A and B are shown apart, each in its own frame.
Chain A
C-alpha cells in the first residue's frame, strides 16, 4: 500500500527522515520500502519521491492501512505526539433539510451506516496539496468531492462514497440484492447480482454494490450540487465473497474485506465534513447514524511473568506496559484496554507481539533451549528413500525432479486419463499441468528424450509421490521411478540387474521377477516383468511403447518399506570348497532361460548352490547357419555341500540329473 511521507510527517512531526522511517518500520512493524511516485506532475519534489510502499498484514487493516495508523506507529517509534484527527466536536448542521432517511435490512452484513447531506456550491478540481497527496499514494485526482472521499480514506483507512442527492430517489436502504438484479457501476460495467450480494439501494434499485463500487446512476459529476456522503461498516467475509463472485476487486473492497472497526466510519465522516466545508465551501446538513451499538470496552490482563516466559526476555512490567501505552493502549494497573481501532488484538499473546516488536528483536539475546534429550531420528520411509538414492547414485544414475502435474496429452500418449486414474485439478494453472501424475515414468520417458539431444545414454531416477483416484478412492503413494536409455541397445537387462542389486541392498531378501501379466498401457506387453515379494506386486519393469532404447521401472515404496524391516543376519562361510561345472546347450529359440534355470535348480536341489548364465549367442543373429532357430546357452553350475568336500562322483551324479532334465523337458542338445 502506498503512503505519502509528507502526510505521515505532518501527523507525527517527530518522524525524522524517510530513510529512518523505513528502517524503523521494517524492524518494528511492517515491511516498508522507498518507491518512486508513479503519477507524474508533482511540483516541488525536486526529483525525490514522497511515496513509500508499506505491506500491511492481513490482520492490520483496521488500524494500520491509513496515514493515521502509520503515523501512530511513527510517533511510538520516534517519540513526540500524534495529531489526533478524531478529536474535536462533530461539525454542526447548517442546513434545515430533514436528515437522510436510511434503513438497514441486513444488520449482520452492515454493522453501521452513517449518511450526511451536504450542499456544494460547485464541483471543481481540488487544491494542489490534496492532489499531491493523492498522487503520492498512486491515486488520480478526479474532482473536489470525490478527491475528499479518497483523501479521507487514505488518512483514516475508511472508504467513503458520495452520491448525487438529486439522483437518489426516496430513502436509502442497505439490503441484500434481489436474485438477478443488475447494476451499472461508475466504470460503465454491468453486474448481475444475487441474494448474497449486499447493495445500497433507493426506491428505484441499487445505487452501489456495498463496500465495493458505486453505481453510475447517482454518480457525482460537475453538475452535482447536493450530495449524500456515506461512511459505513460492512462485514469483511461477505464483502470478500462478493468481490470474488463478481471478480471486482477495488481499493474499498480490499479494505473492507479485511475488517474495519466501526469507529473509523465516525472519524472519517467527521474528517470528510470538515474538509468539504474547508475546501469546497460546502454547507453541512444533518447526519444519520444507523445500527451502531458501541462495543463494550475490551480489557486484557498483562502478565509480565508470562511475557518473559514466552519471549525469553526479562523486561520490567512498567517498561512493557510503557510500549503498549505508546501504541494507544490505555493502561489501568495491570489491565490493558484495547483501542477501538485494533480489531487484531484479542488475546494476551497479541499484546506480547506488540511489546516485542516495539522493543526490537535485535536486542533479544539468543538462548540455548533446555529440554530433555530424546534420540532424534528420521522416519523409516525417509531412511529408505535416502538409502535408495545413495545406491542409485552409486550405480551412476542421476536424480531428476519432475512436476507433480501432467497434461492430458502426456497421459493420452499411452492411455485415457480415466484408465490412468489420474485425478484432475479443479483449477489448473494451464492445460500443461491439469492432472496429478499417476506414475513417474511418463515424465522420465520425456526426460530421456530431452536429454538424448545432448547424451548418448541417459540413466536417471526420481523419488516422488503419485496420485490415483479409482472407484472414488483417492490415493497418494510414494514411488521410485528409474529409466535407463541408450541409443545403441535396450538396457532392460541392465535395469533388471540393477533392480536386483538395489532391492537386495535395501534389505529385501525374497523377491522374484515374473511375467508382467498386467495391462500397463505405456509398456510393451510381452517384454515386461513384475517384481513380486510376499505375494505382492512391488513394481514392474519394461520397455515403454515407442521408446525402443529405453527401459523403465517403478517400485511402490510403501510396500517395499513393509518388507524390508528384517535385520540382516550373518550366514557362516562354508568351510568346504565349491565345485564349478559349465554346461553348454542348444535349445529352441522359444525356450525361456528362466524356465531352464528353474528346472536345473529343481533337478538337483541337494548340492546345486547357484546357476548362472555366463554365455549366450543367437546363431541366427550371428549369421552362422548351424542350428537354425536355436540359441546357444552356457551356464555355470556351482555345487556345494555344507558338511563335506563334494567328491567327483557326487557332482557327476547331480550333473546327470540336470542334463537329463534339460534333454527330456526342453529337448536341449548338450554340447
Chain B
C-alpha cells in the first residue's frame, strides 16, 4: 500500500469509529509497532532505491503526525460525548464571585465633573504639578513679600537649571496663565489637577490634594453668566434641589472676587472661590482687558467627594487601603 492510499483509508476508518475502544484498535491497526500499517510501509522501504527512500520517508513521517493528531482530536470528541450530562444547577446558590475593579473615588468625582462641564461646552486640559514662581504667583498678581502669599503655603524646589525658580503648585490657577498665553478667546475650560500645600495634615488637610480650575473668557462674559454656569454645575452634581449662594471674597487674581457656598443637609458649606479675571492678569497674557473679560473659579475635589460620599477624613483618599477604595 502506498502513503496516499493509506491516508485515505485511515480517513475513512476514523470516521467509522464509535467509541474509545474502537479508537484504540484503530491506533494499533495503523501505528502498532509490529504490524501497524505505517510500519509496514516503512519496513518495505529497505527494498527501495535511495531516491525513493528520500521521497517516501518524510511523507510517512508526516502521515504519522497527522494520524496522531487526528486520533487525539477524535479522542477528545469521544470524551466529550461520553461525559456525563451536565448536572442540574440549583439557581438558589449564591452567584460566582467576579473580580471587580474600582476607580478611585476622586477619579469618579473628577469624571462626573468633567462630564458635566463637557456638557456645558467646557474643554478639559491639564498642566504641570511642578511650577515656576512666575506662573504660580507673579503672573497671578500675587505680590512677592506680601502676606497675601501666605494664603498659599508653598513647598519650594529651588532653582532648576532648565526651568528657573520652582515650587509645587499651590493651586491650579497657573493654568489660567498657561492657557491664555496660547489660546485666543472666546474659550471655556476646566483644569483638574493635583496641588500642594505646606501644612500639617489632619482630617481636613492634606499636603497634596486636587482642584478643578475653571476659566471662561469672551467679549461679554459676566458675573451673571458665572452664576448661571455654576448653578447648572451644582444642580447636576448635587441634584436639582441644590441651593447655592455667593459671598464677597478676596483673591488677588480676580476682581470682583467671591466665594460660593452650597447647602447640603441643611448646612451651608463653602466650596468654591471665584471672580472676574483681574485686568492685570489679562495684561500679563497680552489680552486687552478693554476687549476681553471673563470669570475664573476653583474648587477642591476632595471637599466635594467628602460631602457627596460622607467621607470623614481626607487622609483616607491617600491610604491606598482597598477596604476604602472598593466601596466606591
**B265 interfacial contact with A, CB 8 Å:** no
Decide: A404 and B129 in contact? CB cutoff 8 A. Answer: yes
Complex: A393 Cα to B101 Cα, angstroms: 4
- In the assembled complex, how far is the CB of residue A447 from the closest CB belonging to chain B, in whole angstroms? 4
With A352-B256, A356-B223, A393-B102 as given contacts, are A368 and B228 in contact (CB-CB < 8 Å)?
yes
**A469 interfacial contact with B, CB 8 Å:** yes
- In the assembled complex, how far is the CB of residue A375 from the closest CB belonging to chain B, in whole angstroms? 9
Complex: A28 Cα to B187 Cα, angstroms: 30
In the complex formed, the residue of A with least CB distance to B156 is A426
Contacts of A349 in B (CB 8 A): 255-256, 276, 278-279
**B186 interfacial contact with A, CB 8 Å:** yes
**B44 interfacial contact with A, CB 8 Å:** no
Chain A positions near chain B (C-beta within 8 angstroms): 26-31, 57-60, 236-238, 240-241, 254, 257-258, 309-313, 347, 349-350, 352-353, 356-357, 361-362, 364-374, 376-379, 381-382, 386, 389, 392-405, 423, 425-429, 433, 436, 443, 446-447, 450-451, 454-455, 458-460, 464-465, 467, 469, 472-474, 476, 581-582, 648, 652, 655-656
- In the assembled complex, how far is the CB of residue B257 from the closest CB belonging to chain A, in whole angstroms? 7
- In the assembled complex, how far is the CB of residue A196 from the closest CB belonging to chain B, in whole angstroms? 11
Stretch from B34-42, B47-55, B88-96, B159-167 at the A interface: B159-167
Q: Given A27, A364, A397, A581, which contacts B101 in the complex, CB threshold below 8 Å?
A: A397
Complex: A418 Cα to B9 Cα, angstroms: 74
Stretch from B12-20, B25-33, B116-124 at the A interface: B116-124
Since A371-B221, A401-B106, A404-B196 are in contact, a sample of 5 more A-B pairs with Cβ atoms closer than 8 Å, ordered by chain A residue number, is A362-B246, A376-B188, A379-B126, A397-B101, A451-B320
Contacts of B322 in A (CB 8 A): 398, 400, 451, 454-455, 458, 460
With A310-B293, A404-B168, A426-B157 as given contacts, are A369 and B221 in contact (CB-CB < 8 Å)?
yes
**B266 interfacial contact with A, CB 8 Å:** no
Decide: B66 and A652 in contact? CB cutoff 8 A. Answer: yes
**B148 interfacial contact with A, CB 8 Å:** yes
In the complex formed, the residue of B with least CB distance to A394 is B101
Decide: A474 and B151 in contact? CB cutoff 8 A. Answer: no
With A377-B123, A465-B194, A474-B163 as given contacts, are A26 and B247 in contact (CB-CB < 8 Å)?
yes
Contacts of A237 in B (CB 8 A): 143-146
**B107 interfacial contact with A, CB 8 Å:** yes
Contacts of A455 in B (CB 8 A): 322
Chain B positions near chain A (C-beta within 8 angstroms): 58-59, 61-62, 65-66, 69, 72, 98-104, 106-107, 111, 114, 117-118, 121-126, 128-130, 143-148, 151, 155-158, 160-163, 166, 168, 186-188, 194, 196, 198-201, 207-208, 216, 218, 220-225, 227-229, 231, 245-250, 252, 255-258, 276, 278-279, 293, 317-323, 325-326
Decide: A467 and B225 in contact? CB cutoff 8 A. Answer: no
In the complex formed, the residue of A with least CB distance to B121 is A376
- In the assembled complex, how far is the CB of residue A445 from the closest CB belonging to chain B, in whole angstroms? 11
Contacts of B257 in A (CB 8 A): 353
In the complex formed, the residue of A with least CB distance to B270 is A31
In the complex formed, the residue of B with least CB distance to A356 is B256
Q: Given A26, A367, A436, which contacts B224 in the complex, CB threshold below 8 Å?
A: A367
Decide: B208 and A425 in contact? CB cutoff 8 A. Answer: no
Decide: B207 and A59 in contact? CB cutoff 8 A. Answer: no
In the complex formed, the residue of A with least CB distance to B191 is A379
Contacts of A27 in B (CB 8 A): 245, 247-248
Contacts of B160 in A (CB 8 A): 469, 472, 474
Decide: B255 and A350 in contact? CB cutoff 8 A. Answer: yes
Decide: B199 and A429 in contact? CB cutoff 8 A. Answer: yes
Decide: B256 and A357 in contact? CB cutoff 8 A. Answer: yes
Contacts of B326 in A (CB 8 A): 398
In the complex formed, the residue of B with least CB distance to A450 is B320
With A352-B255, A451-B320 as given contacts, are A241 and B145 in contact (CB-CB < 8 Å)?
yes
Complex: A361 Cα to B274 Cα, angstroms: 13
Contacts of A428 in B (CB 8 A): 155
Complex: A238 Cα to B161 Cα, angstroms: 29
Q: Given A58, A352, A397, which contacts B147 in the complex, CB threshold below 8 Å?
A: A58
Contacts of B168 in A (CB 8 A): 404, 425, 436
Decide: B186 and A372 in contact? CB cutoff 8 A. Answer: yes
Contacts of B256 in A (CB 8 A): 349, 352-353, 356-357
Decide: B224 and A59 in contact? CB cutoff 8 A. Answer: no
- In the assembled complex, how far is the CB of residue A70 from the closest CB belonging to chain B, in whole angstroms? 14
Complex: A347 Cα to B276 Cα, angstroms: 14
Decide: A389 and B320 in contact? CB cutoff 8 A. Answer: no
Decide: B248 and A353 in contact? CB cutoff 8 A. Answer: yes
- In the assembled complex, how far is the CB of residue A580 from the closest CB belonging to chain B, in whole angstroms? 9
In the complex formed, the residue of A with least CB distance to B261 is A26
Complex: A294 Cα to B165 Cα, angstroms: 39
Decide: B130 and A473 in contact? CB cutoff 8 A. Answer: no
Decide: A364 and B223 in contact? CB cutoff 8 A. Answer: yes
Give me 11 A-to-B residue pairs in the complex whose CB atoms sit less than 8 angstroms apart, sorted by A's number: A57-B250, A58-B250, A310-B293, A364-B246, A366-B231, A379-B125, A429-B198, A429-B201, A451-B322, A474-B162, A656-B62
Decide: A31 and B155 in contact? CB cutoff 8 A. Answer: no
Decide: B161 and A29 in contact? CB cutoff 8 A. Answer: no
Q: Which of A429, A433, A469, A655 has the largest count of B CB atoms less than 10 A from its CB?
A: A429
With A312-B225, A313-B224, A357-B248 as given contacts, are A652 and B62 in contact (CB-CB < 8 Å)?
yes
Q: Which of A353, A392, A405, A460 has the largest count of B CB atoms less than 10 A from its CB?
A: A353
With A349-B276, A353-B257 as given contacts, are A393 and B103 in contact (CB-CB < 8 Å)?
yes
Decide: A396 and B163 in contact? CB cutoff 8 A. Answer: no
With A377-B123, A458-B322 as given contacts, are A361 and B225 in contact (CB-CB < 8 Å)?
no
Decide: B222 and A371 in contact? CB cutoff 8 A. Answer: no
Q: Given A28, A378, A472, which contacts B123 in the complex, CB threshold below 8 Å?
A: A378
Decide: A364 and B227 in contact? CB cutoff 8 A. Answer: yes
- In the assembled complex, how far is the CB of residue B273 from the closest CB belonging to chain A, in whole angstroms? 12
With A353-B257, A405-B208 as given contacts, are A386 and B111 in contact (CB-CB < 8 Å)?
yes
Complex: A402 Cα to B315 Cα, angstroms: 10
- In the assembled complex, how far is the CB of residue A599 from the closest CB belonging to chain B, in whole angstroms? 19
Decide: A376 and B122 in contact? CB cutoff 8 A. Answer: yes
Decide: B123 and A459 in contact? CB cutoff 8 A. Answer: no
- In the assembled complex, how far is the CB of residue A201 from the closest CB belonging to chain B, in whole angstroms? 24
Decide: A258 and B147 in contact? CB cutoff 8 A. Answer: yes
Decide: B245 and A362 in contact? CB cutoff 8 A. Answer: yes
Decide: A472 and B147 in contact? CB cutoff 8 A. Answer: no
Complex: A368 Cα to B222 Cα, angstroms: 10
- In the assembled complex, how far is the CB of residue B204 from the closest CB belonging to chain A, in whole angstroms? 16
Q: Given A368, A447, A648, which contacts B225 in the complex, CB threshold below 8 Å?
A: A368
In the complex formed, the residue of A with least CB distance to B103 is A399
Decide: B227 and A366 in contact? CB cutoff 8 A. Answer: yes
In the complex formed, the residue of B with least CB distance to A475 is B162
- In the assembled complex, how far is the CB of residue A197 from the closest CB belonging to chain B, in whole angstroms? 14
Complex: A180 Cα to B303 Cα, angstroms: 48
Contacts of B101 in A (CB 8 A): 392-399, 459
- In the assembled complex, how far is the CB of residue B322 from the closest CB belonging to chain A, in whole angstroms? 5
Decide: A476 and B224 in contact? CB cutoff 8 A. Answer: no
Q: Which of A371, A379, A455 has the largest count of B CB atoms less than 10 A from its CB?
A: A371
Contacts of B128 in A (CB 8 A): 476
Complex: A394 Cα to B98 Cα, angstroms: 11
Decide: A382 and B255 in contact? CB cutoff 8 A. Answer: no
Decide: B255 and A240 in contact? CB cutoff 8 A. Answer: no
- In the assembled complex, how far is the CB of residue A438 from the closest CB belonging to chain B, in whole angstroms? 13
